[in-house]
A = this chain, B = another copy of it.
Amino acid sequence: MGLVVQKFGGTSVADAQKIHRAANRAIDAKLAGNSVVVVVSARGKTTDELEQMAYEISDNPSKREMDQLLSTGEQLSISLMAMAIQAAGHKAVSFTGGQVGLITDNAHSKARIQRIDAERITSQLDQGRIVIVAGFQGVDENANITTLGRGGSDTTAVALAAVLRADYCDIFTDVPGVFTADPRVVGEARKLDRISYDEMLELASLGAGVMHSRAVEFGKKYNVRIRVRSSATDEPGTEICQEADTMEEIVVSGVSLKKDVAQITMDHVPDTPGIAADIFALVAKANIIVDDIIQTEHESGCATLSFTVDSGELKAAEKVVEEVRASWPSCKISYDNELAKVSAVGVGMRSHTGVAHSMFRALAQAKININAITTSEIKISCLISRDQGPQALRAIHKAFNLESAPTREGL
């Protein structure tokens, strides 16, 4: 007998009909002979509504109380899901994060899971019940309710799958799986059958939006077979798994576009040790998340240092940089808030050449100028003008022939 974890996102439990549909999936898995654990997010717009209530009361609600408030969203979903399964004549029981002993640190609004008491769940599974667990939430050592931040329900599901040694963890969502590119931008985008954790991590952090990085990291760490599937169909979706040998034959698995990128460029920075450290210490202190950092040196002995942040964080970043400028009056600073980042991702890049060339040629042919380039082992990214983002994505999707078949050596 197997054990499966199924996770349903907010849109998959948005109304009574959808809850029944999700309940039936759990029941089907149960009738197929599995022990079934279901992880549920807050319904559709619930979290937004709760946040709005809070901001009607306070401009700056405390994070502890915000967690206390937001966690009701999933608690609502789990009880309704249990009722739906029971209404169909099957045994079910719902648990909050605290009730299954999902213990986190006390970093409210972005807590990290420390441990899960699997015993409560397994004892219920052994009694033949489908166990419904609230995603996104836990409690700290003192029973204060915490939330796991963005993508938290995915993380809960994968963590439970790891602890319970589940055969697989199905992430049901409103898309049929992971695509070679965002299908809303690239009409020819193709669904992938499999993708490695590392590729998925690059795509997730680049804004592919299907699954949050933390959940994928968790899956990688504990080797959880994750399947991203549509809650509306019975299609198998995309499996996220360990890298297999055959995967290396595929040079580029997918391309992604991150809109809303802002770049800060500091020119004529004295090229002496410790300067980058000084700058990014201040940036970190201001809680600004830096995406890419690029530094180049000039013969003059000065350096150009640039970094990117989300557009929304540019104002805060500007403030920090203007403080630093006082120390180097010669430094020239410029800001560009009209950028996007287009990237190609694939584990095959490690052992293949010519990928960068193909990408740059495709952008050049589309008359798209490249502002900056960054690379990792399995990723090439170009900063480009924001209004050319969709066009750039389509161009490189086409260049790597992603619409028809895996790209192979010798492009």
Interface residues of A (CB under 8 A from B): 16, 19-20, 50, 53-54, 56-62, 64-66, 68-69, 71-72, 75-76, 78-80, 82-84, 86-87, 93-94, 96, 98-99, 143-145
Whether the pair B83, A61 counts as a contact (CB closer than 8 A) is yes
Q: Contacts A83-B57, A87-B59 given; indicate if A50 touches B64 (C-beta within 8 A).
A: no
Q: A16-B57, A58-B86, A66-B79 are in contact. List 5 more A-B contacts (CB 8 A).
A: A19-B57, A54-B79, A68-B78, A69-B83, A99-B143
Q: Are A86 and B98 in contact (CB under 8 A)?
A: no
- Set of chain B residues within 8 Å of A59, measured between Cβ atoms: 87
Main secondary structure of the interface of A (DSSP, over half): helix
User: Does the CB pair B75–A57 fall under 8 Å?
Assistant: no
Interface contact A54-B83, CB-CB below 8 Å:
yes
Q: Which residue of B lies closest to A134 (CB)?
A: B68
23 A-B contacts, Cβ less than 8 Å apart?
A50-B76, A53-B76, A53-B80, A54-B79, A58-B84, A58-B87, A59-B87, A61-B86, A61-B87, A64-B93, A65-B82, A65-B83, A65-B94, A66-B83, A68-B75, A68-B79, A68-B94, A69-B75, A69-B79, A69-B80, A72-B72, A72-B75, A72-B76
A49 to chain B, nearest CB (A): 10
Task: Determine how many copies of this chain the complex contains.
Answer: 2
B residues within 8 A CB of A93? 64
What is the chain B residue whose CB lies nearest that of A69?
Answer: B79
Query: Chain B contacts of A66 at CB under 8 A?
Result: 79, 83
B94 touches A80 (CB 8 A): no
Residues of B within 8 A of A71 (CB): 75
The chain B residue with its CB closest to the CB of A76 is B72
User: Chain B residues near A20 (CB, 8 Å)?
Assistant: 57
Please pick, from B16, B72, B82, the residue contacting A62 in the complex, using a CB distance under 8 A.
B82
Taken together as a complex, chains A and B put the C-alpha atoms of A98 and B145 apart, in Å, by: 11
Q: Contacting A69 at CB < 8 Å: which of B53, B76, B86, B98?
A: B76
* Minimum CB–CB distance for A92 against chain B, Å: 8
- Given the complex, which residues of B lie within 8 Å of A82, measured CB to CB? 62, 65, 68
Name the distance in Å between A134's Cβ and chain B's nearest Cβ.
Answer: 10
By the criterion CB–CB under 8 Å, are A80 and B98 in contact? no
In the bound assembly, the distance between CA atoms of A194 and B210 in angstroms comes to: 63
